[in-house]
Structure 1
Amino acid sequence: MTAIYIKIHDDIKHQVETGVYEVGQRLPSERVMAEQFGVSRMTLRQAVTSLVEEGILTRYVGSGTYVASDRVREKMRGTTSFTDIIKSLGKTPTSKVLSYQKTKANEVECDKLQLKKGAQIIRMERIRYADDLPICYEVASIPYRLIEDFQKNDIANHFYDTLENAGKKIGRSEQVISAKIVNKEIAKFLAIKPNAAILGLTQISYFANSDKTPFEYVLSQYVGDRFEFYLER
């Protein structure tokens, strides 16, 4: 015999899938839903908790339970451009460049990009969107010698395609993910509240050549309820 909470779980899941509850919509309170299903609040809570664990619902302390937002998902394997990830999900990728400047690499950038002290880079700050929804804020550092023959638009809007069209094959990347708290300025760019928890990503990308030259060092901050990473082995 199927447990009562599983039946409730399946019913709520069906309501989400059929649009009775839409993405981002707040569900009724536990008391109201327990009365609707004719069960105790404990049984109702067990069903809702299982849906939260599956990522179908999201629970916010002091606010309530909501239908989880559709998240952009990146497979942590190989090197894939943000544009390709968004397109593969049937969404429209766009970017807003906040700054784009030629400057001397700092100590960290020299280390990550294997550059000599005083080397020139392009440092680009931008917001990345999926269907006009801000997904991440990023600062990309690129050795100037690699892109001096390209236009700003080639780098800012389709960097990986520009490299590959120039015969430069993209290789592996090194990625480190960490939990962070967003500051007031970046929160405004991402349309979220200051001090909200976000996902920080540090990435170094390399060409697939014999010496595996690094061509990009990126610091990104992703809105946690709009983007997720997953591993595949």
Structure 2
Amino acid sequence: MTAITSLSASSSTALSAPAVRDSFWIRIAAELAESIARGIYPPGQRLPSEHALAEQFGVNRHTIRRSLASLCSQGLLRATQGSGTYVEDFAVDLVLARRTRHHQNMAQAGLRGALRVLDARNVRATAAQARALRVPARSPLLCLHVLGEAEGQPLHVSERCFPLPRFAGLDDVVRETGSITAGFEARGVADYTRLESRITAQMPEAAVAAHLRQTATRPVLAVESINVDTAGVPIEFALAWFAGDRVTLTVAHDA
């Protein structure tokens, strides 16, 4: 197995102040997370013992324990009492198709999941939002911040914008049902399709990283999408950030 770069003795000597020493666990957690991302520790593999990791990084076991606990809270590791700490093998294959539905993706993966509204507010459309939704600049929009979860794990966080007054009150339905589709149906949209999805890799803002329970130094998959009703009228413009280590995005070229 490829060795993880350890903290050098000179660094340990130079960074001896308590405040800096307390940051060692953050640096170690980041190095372990990077090693997981690179496949040095693949899904399902057991990590070296706390004692071995403490010797490798030149720190005490309490520091290692703190690093591992942080990675467990982010969903990268799982601790099994009496057995050890393992790389989490939780992953979901989400399909981006003409009819992309969160609850259907979860059902196909055999998981329980829903959307949770974090915030809802009325805003004026930016130039990008107005262009995507084909409405005049500064038109009123309903914007939801939504967290998509599966089995208690955050998969994505998104900002979803809908034209007003057509979708006034949609947030109440989504809060109650955990479904954007149910919200559309309540507003008279029986069916809708994905017009386009644009996927990029980027570093997350701090708020996005916090919602996904990962460090801001780990890239996310950003998806910009537009949904339209059966008449081809845009009804939703969304920016979603997916946890790259928990999600595989499959683009389905269906009819």
TM-score using structure 1 length: 0.66
C-alpha contact (below 8 Å) 1:69/1:225 kept by paired residues: no
What are the equivalent positions in structure 2 for 1:16-165 lying under 5 Å apart?
Answer: 24-26=44-46, 69-148=89-168, 150-156=169-175, 157-164=178-185
Query: Is 2:223 aligned against 1:201?
Result: yes
Stretches (4+) displaced over 4 A: none
More deviation, 212-221/100-109: 100-109
TM-aligned CA deviation for residue 151 of structure 1: 5.0
TM-aligned CA deviation for residue 26 of structure 1: 2.9
| Cα pair distance change 1:123/1:151, threshold 3 Å | closer
What is the alpha-carbon distance in structure 2 between the residues aligned to residue 167 and residue 76 of structure 1?
20
Structure 2 counterpart SS, 1:108: helix
C-alpha contact (below 8 Å) 1:83/1:93 kept by paired residues: yes
Query: Is 2:205 aligned against 1:183?
Result: yes
C-alpha contact (below 8 Å) 1:79/1:205 kept by paired residues: no
TM-aligned CA deviation for residue 155 of structure 1: 3.4
TM-aligned CA deviation for residue 119 of structure 1: 1.2
Number of aligned residue pairs? 173
| Cα pair distance change 1:185/1:77, threshold 3 Å | closer
What is the alpha-carbon distance in structure 2 between the residues aligned to residue 131 and residue 159 of structure 1?
19
TM-aligned CA deviation for residue 201 of structure 1: 0.5
- In the alignment, structure 2 segments of 5+ residues that lack a partner are 1-41, 49-85
What is the alpha-carbon distance in structure 2 between the residues aligned to residue 153 and residue 24 of structure 1?
40
| Partner residue, 2:5 | none
| Partner residue, 2:61 | none
Structure 2 counterpart SS, 1:146: coil
C-alpha contact (below 8 Å) 2:114/2:179 kept by paired residues: no
Query: Is 2:249 aligned against 1:226?
Result: no
C-alpha contact (below 8 Å) 1:164/1:170 kept by paired residues: no
TM-aligned CA deviation for residue 195 of structure 1: 1.6
More deviation, 82-91/212-221: 82-91
Structure 2 counterpart SS, 1:115: coil
Alignment RMSD (CA, Å)? 2.4
C-alpha contact (below 8 Å) 2:160/2:239 kept by paired residues: yes
C-alpha contact (below 8 Å) 2:113/2:150 kept by paired residues: yes
Structure 2 counterpart SS, 1:145: coil
| Partner residue, 1:173 | 195
TM-aligned CA deviation for residue 23 of structure 1: 5.1
The percentage of aligned residue pairs carrying the same residue is 19
Structure 1 counterpart SS, 2:245: coil
TM-score using structure 2 length: 0.61
What is the alpha-carbon distance in structure 2 between the residues aligned to residue 176 and residue 101 of structure 1?
25
TM-aligned CA deviation for residue 221 of structure 1: 0.6
Spell out, residue by residue over 1:194-223, the C-alpha distance to the aligned partner (whole angstroms, 9 max, x if none).
Answer: 2211111000111122xx001101101100
Q: Name the aligned partner's letter for residue 174 of structure 1.
A: E
TM-aligned CA deviation for residue 172 of structure 1: 3.2
Structure 2 counterpart SS, 1:26: coil
